[in-house]
Structure 1
Amino acid sequence: MYAIVKSGGKQYRVRQGDELVVERLAGEVGEQVELPVSLRAEGDTLDLESRTARAEILEHLRGEKLKVYKYKPKKGYRRKRGHRQALTRIRVLEV
């Protein structure tokens, strides 16, 4: 059995016990959160009813550093900036 859950504007295919990294979720480590399920499949049957999946927050982390560089040719204008996305690792407890 698997389900498609939504988090942070993205959709993930998960099973019970899966760990995944999603956009930062509000909550402390060890807390349980509910994620909306858009589709649930068990064998050949699909369930489109609105349900929720429970997940546990394992840790908060930050993604790899991205370098953003912009410039204007022949003008001496150069800007270099970095960005690290805030992420959360979760474990799906129940679908």
Structure 2
Amino acid sequence: MYAIVKVGGKQYRVETGDSLVVDRMHEDEGAKVALQPLLFADGDDTVFDGDDLTKVKVEATVTGHERGEKIRVLKFKPKGNYKRHQGHRSELTRLEIGEIKKLSRKPAKEKED
């Protein structure tokens, strides 16, 4: 059983128990987040329609925040004595996929206070 989820404008294929590194999310470590499913498939059934997709639930837990590898950039102009060094490290969040399930009915809407 797997699902295609959308996180931060990118799509990822996830299964239960997978570890996923995505762009930084504004969630604390240990927080549970619900990911937006785009497709759900288990051996018999495939769901990618809007109404049936609301019945699919993908939960993940934030296991930590990390920084990616440093990317070094060098710009130069030949014969001009111009060089410029620049570096960049991406801010990342590691997610642990906890549960992927298809509900028998639509989830109830949360009440606003």
> Where does residue 36 of structure 2 map in the other structure?
36
> Where does residue 78 of structure 1 map in the other structure?
83
CA RMSD in angstroms, aligned pairs only: 1.2
Q: Name which one, 1 or 2, has greater alpha-carbon Rg.
A: 2
Q: Could you give the per-residue CA deviations for residues 41-94 of structure 1, whole angstroms, max 9, x where no partner exists?
A: 011421012444211000000000100111112111111011000001110112
TM-score normalised by L of structure 1: 0.92
Give 1:16 deviation, angstroms: 1.3
> Where does residue 53 of structure 1 map in the other structure?
58
Distance 1:72 1:45 in 2: 57
Which piece of structure 1 moves more, 8-17 or 28-37? 8-17
Q: How many residues align?
A: 95
Q: Does 1:68 align with 2:47?
A: no
Distance 2:22 2:57 in 1: 16
Identical aligned pairs, as a percentage? 48
SS in 1 for 2:92: strand
> Where does residue 19 of structure 1 map in the other structure?
19
Give 1:9 deviation, angstroms: 2.2
**Alignment gaps of 5+ in structure 1:** none
**Alignment gaps of 5+ in structure 2:** 101-113
> Relative to 1, partners in 2 of residues 1:83 and 1:45: Cα closer, same or farther, differing over 3 Å?
same
Whose strand fraction is larger, Structure 1's or Structure 2's? 1
> Where does residue 96 of structure 2 map in the other structure?
91
TM-score normalised by L of structure 2: 0.78
